């Protein structure tokens, strides 16, 4: 497709992003050396161009590339260098810090977690965001200023969950722990920043919307429109993940673009000029930013929308891919830690693939069949093909990213996303009305698309092997070939447009081979798990797995069990066998069902009245998750 032909700015940004990704984990000294090299090269090229009084296209591309690389290296050096080293160098040591709470994440008998903004670190003034973990139930609340003595602990990794990537993608640079209640002192002062005020406003909006809609639909409405997922059940989150639509629960450019599309459609009905409609986009994006409490992902989406809008208004010749590249550069320049954010790369990968490949699909020659069909039928079929192609190319552009970040991909991502697109649009549109006018008729209409989304996600999630976790070398070979074919089709100048179907074919082969499990070993493998007082066996053969729980019902085995299944390329359990009854079993089942799909629960035959009561509780819990209960061998 030759996407970089006559697009020097897009080429410069893409090279700079690759450089930023490559040097992200390198030391500060290496980054400074590379920064100096790029600045020197850019300066020399600029001087040579001035002396020759002629600037060639190649020289322009090189100068822009050096400037873009230098810009991203400055941010990467500052955030991943001195800021991170300040805490890494003190890992395991006792530190004295001061700051204020920006968000209360969780609080319970086992401890409390907060995101805090530190203003002082061992006597040094700072402005860093960190995660604070207290091993007790803390009385801290949002806005409280505190002074404590604690420790900087190392980032952990449990199974597929990488704490460092997860926290740093949200701008949290370290984890500080406090183990004694007496080591933390509330200074009595409260900090009220605009960000805290926006978060309080967001919570009030969520309560208003949740109360108006009610149930799991209300929690889903708050997640879709306002970005608050705290009310969603673990089962719903699992269903959306297995259906390949988890991106709908994370605020991103998709939500902003849908709302902008609704606004443009409404203004278009009143015949408002296009430039006026585009000029109205940034104010709407800022309004949505206020609604969502200025969430990090929404800030990036709004920044991208603002850059695209300004590019359209300021340029006589608008180029979508160049504008998208500039938006990506601005995001990474302002927030260097966004390089670790999955939602950013999924949004950029999907948008870039659609921009690059969709025109080629539309340019494909139509056969005689189209001429024989009625005009309206032919147009409807063309629109359907365009919609399907949009989903397919978005999947091609994000397939490698999904496997790299999450280790999994859903086979239902494209069809479920296509079906849910109108439902999501209706839910966002009616959700805004429900916020402004929370009356029963509006809430009833909003509940309809939300119920449809929950039902479809649940049905798709129940399909066997809906979620693929590649583990075999052959699976990764097809995945790498698919990614390389996508890049080659985008970068190389193809004379025949039909070559754009090659990435689609390789992606389909990867999904079919991985979902079928023909490459997985057929012999039975057994993994022994031990966590405190808990023991379990995980038996796997091909795409089928059984978990035999011999523990006291402790939830400590939930994460090791999910990790053991993931290592075998599985995200579901055919048989969960409990060898005996215990009081913690319902909680264990609930937490395990939020991590993996459990199809059948096998319980021993109850012998006493207590066991009969426990069995009844287990049946109730299993019914909530759609699990079939069996007794005996």
Q: What is the CATH number of domain 525-631?
A: 3.60.15.10
Which residues partner with 531 through β-bridges?
534
* Mean pLDDT lowest among 152-161, 359-368, 618-627: 359-368
First to last CA, the chain: 60
Q: What Rg do the C-alpha atoms of the chain give, in angstroms? A: 27
Which residues partner with 94 through β-bridges?
151
Q: Residue 366 carries which DSSP code?
A: P
Instruction: Collect all residues with Cβ–Cβ distance below 8 Å to 241 and sequence separation of at least 6.
Output: 408, 410, 467
Collapsed DSSP state (helix, strand, coil) of residue 233? coil
Collapsed DSSP state (helix, strand, coil) of residue 212? helix
Instruction: Collect all residues with Cβ–Cβ distance below 8 Å to 426 and sequence separation of at least 6.
Output: 448, 449
Q: Predicted confidence band at 87 (pLDDT cuts at 50, 70, 90)?
A: confident
Instruction: Collect all residues with Cβ–Cβ distance below 8 Å to 456 and sequence separation of at least 6.
Output: 243, 416, 419, 420
Q: Residue 597 carries which DSSP code?
A: E
Which residues partner with 158 through β-bridges?
161
Using CA atoms, how far apart are residues 251 and 431, in angstroms rounded to an integer?
Answer: 15
- pLDDT score for 455: 92
CB atoms within 10 A of CB 375: 9
Using CA atoms, how far apart are residues 72 and 184, in angstroms rounded to an integer?
Answer: 38
* Mean pLDDT lowest among 10-14, 195-199, 259-263, 365-369: 365-369
Q: Predicted confidence band at 159 (pLDDT cuts at 50, 70, 90)?
A: low
Using CA atoms, how far apart are residues 127 and 294, in angstroms rounded to an integer?
Answer: 18
Cβ(324)–Cβ(306) under 8 Å?
Answer: no
Nearest to 80 by CA among 26, 116, 140, 142: 26
90-192 carries CATH number 2.40.50.140: yes
Across residues 422-436, what is the average pLDDT? Answer: 86
Q: Predicted confidence band at 40 (pLDDT cuts at 50, 70, 90)?
A: very high
Residue 365 pLDDT exceeds 60 = no
Nearest to 209 by CA among 186, 197, 226, 185: 226
Cβ(394)–Cβ(353) under 8 Å?
Answer: yes
Nearest to 331 by CA among 24, 1, 17: 17
Instruction: Collect all residues with Cβ–Cβ distance below 8 Å to 276 and sequence separation of at least 6.
Output: 267
208-233 tens-digit pLDDT: 888 888 888 988 988 888 888 878 88
Using CA atoms, how far apart are residues 141 and 135, in angstroms rounded to an integer?
Answer: 16
Task: Please state, for a pLDDT cut of 90, what percent of the chain lies above it.
Answer: 3
Structure tokens at 567: 């290592």
Collapsed DSSP state (helix, strand, coil) of residue 575? strand
Q: Predicted confidence band at 317 (pLDDT cuts at 50, 70, 90)?
A: low
Q: Residues 181, 184, 186, 187: is their CA dihedral positive or negative?
A: positive
Using CA atoms, how far apart are residues 40 and 189, in angstroms rounded to an integer?
Answer: 49
Domain spans in the chain, listed from the N-terminal domain onward = 8-86, 90-192, 200-370+407-468, 525-631
Residue 265 pLDDT exceeds 60 = yes
CB atoms within 10 A of CB 137: 12
* Phi then psi dihedrals of residue 25, to 5 deg: -95, 0
Using CA atoms, how far apart are residues 578 and 586, in angstroms rounded to an integer?
Answer: 11
466-520 tens-digit pLDDT: 888 887 777 788 888 888 888 888 887 766 666 777 787 888 888 777 777 666 6
Residue 350 or 449, more confident: 449
> What's the residue count for the chain?
633
Using CA atoms, how far apart are residues 398 and 244, in angstroms rounded to an integer?
Answer: 12
Using CA atoms, how far apart are residues 55 and 45, in angstroms rounded to an integer?
Answer: 10
Collapsed DSSP state (helix, strand, coil) of residue 319? coil
Q: Predicted confidence band at 367 (pLDDT cuts at 50, 70, 90)?
A: low
Provide DSSP, 141-207. Answer: -TTEEEEEEEEEEPP-EETTEEHHHHHHTTT---EEEE--GGGEEEEEEE---HHHHHHHHHHHHHH
């Amino acid at each position: 497709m030759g996407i970089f032909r006559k697009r020097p700015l897009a080429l410069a940004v893409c090279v700079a992003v690759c450089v930023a990704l490559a040097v992200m984990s390198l030391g500060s000294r290496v980054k400074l050396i590379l920064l100096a090299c790029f600045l020197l090269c850019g300066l020399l090229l600029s001087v040579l161009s001035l002396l020759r009084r002629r600037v060639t296209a190649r020289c322009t591309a090189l100068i822009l590339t050096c400037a873009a690389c230098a810009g991203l290296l400055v941010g990467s050096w500052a955030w991943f260098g001195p800021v991170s080293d300040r805490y890494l160098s003190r890992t395991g040591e006792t530190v004295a810090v001061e700051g204020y709470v920006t968000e209360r994440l969780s609080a319970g008998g086992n401890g409390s977690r907060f995101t805090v903004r530190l203003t002082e670190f061992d006597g040094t003034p700072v402005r860093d965001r960190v995660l604070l973990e207290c091993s007790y139930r803390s009385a801290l609340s949002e806005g409280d200023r505190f002074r404590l003595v604690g420790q900087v602990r190392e980032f952990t990794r449990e199974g597929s969950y990488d704490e460092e990537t997860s926290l740093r993608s949200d701008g949290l640079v370290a984890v500080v722990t406090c183990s004694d209640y007496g080591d933390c002192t509330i200074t009595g002062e409260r900090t009220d920043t605009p960000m805290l005020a926006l978060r309080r406003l967001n919570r009030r909006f969520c309560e208003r919307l949740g109360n108006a809609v009610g149930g799991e639909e209300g929690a889903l409405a708050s997640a879709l429109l306002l970005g608050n997922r705290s009310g969603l059940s673990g089962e719903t989150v699992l269903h959306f993940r297995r259906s390949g639509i988890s991106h709908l629960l994370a605020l991103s450019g998709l939500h902003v673009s849908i709302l902008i599309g609704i606004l443009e459609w409404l203004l278009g009905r009143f015949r408002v000029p296009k430039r006026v409609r585009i000029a109205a986009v940034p104010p709407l994006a800022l309004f949505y930013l206020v609604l969502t409490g200025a969430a990090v992902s929404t800030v990036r989406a709004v920044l991208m929308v603002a850059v695209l809008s300004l590019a359209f208004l300021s340029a006589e010749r608008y180029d979508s891919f160049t504008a998208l590249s500039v938006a990506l550069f601005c995001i990474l320049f302002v927030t260097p830690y966004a390089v670790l954010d999955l939602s950013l790369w999924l949004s950029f990968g999907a948008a870039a693939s659609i921009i690059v490949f969709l025109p080629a699909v539309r340019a494909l020659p139509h056969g005689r069949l189209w001429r024989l069909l009625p005009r309206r039928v032919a147009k409807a079929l063309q629109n359907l093909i365009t919609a399907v192609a949009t989903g397919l190319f978005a999947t091609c552009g994000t397939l490698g990213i999904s496997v790299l970040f999450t280790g999994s991909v859903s086979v239902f991502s494209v069809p479920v996303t296509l079906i849910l697109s109108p439902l999501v649009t209706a839910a966002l549109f009616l959700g805004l009305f429900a916020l402004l006018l929370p009356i029963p008729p509006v809430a009833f209409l909003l509940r309809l698309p939300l119920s449809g989304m929950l039902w479809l996600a649940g049905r798709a999630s129940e399909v066997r092997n809906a979620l693929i976790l590649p583990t075999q070398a052959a699976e990764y070979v097809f995945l790498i070939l698919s990614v390389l074919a996508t890049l080659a089709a985008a970068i190389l100048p193809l004379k025949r447009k039909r070559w754009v179907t090659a990435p689609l074919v390789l992606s389909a082969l990867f999904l079919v081979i991985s979902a079928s499990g023909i490459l997985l070993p057929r012999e039975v493998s057994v993994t022994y798990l031990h966590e405190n007082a808990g023991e379990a066996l995980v038996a796997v053969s091909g795409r089928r797995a059984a978990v035999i729980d011999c523990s006291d019902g402790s939830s400590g085995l939930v994460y090791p069990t999910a990790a053991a299944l993931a290592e075998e390329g599985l995200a579901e359990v055919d048989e969960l066998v409990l060898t005996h009854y215990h009081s913690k079993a319902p909680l264990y089942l609930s937490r395990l069902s939020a991590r993996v799909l459990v199809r059948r629960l096998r319980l021993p035959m109850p012998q006493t009245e207590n066991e009969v009561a426990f069995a009844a509780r287990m049946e109730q819990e299993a019914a909530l998750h759609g699990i079939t209960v069996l007794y005996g061998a």
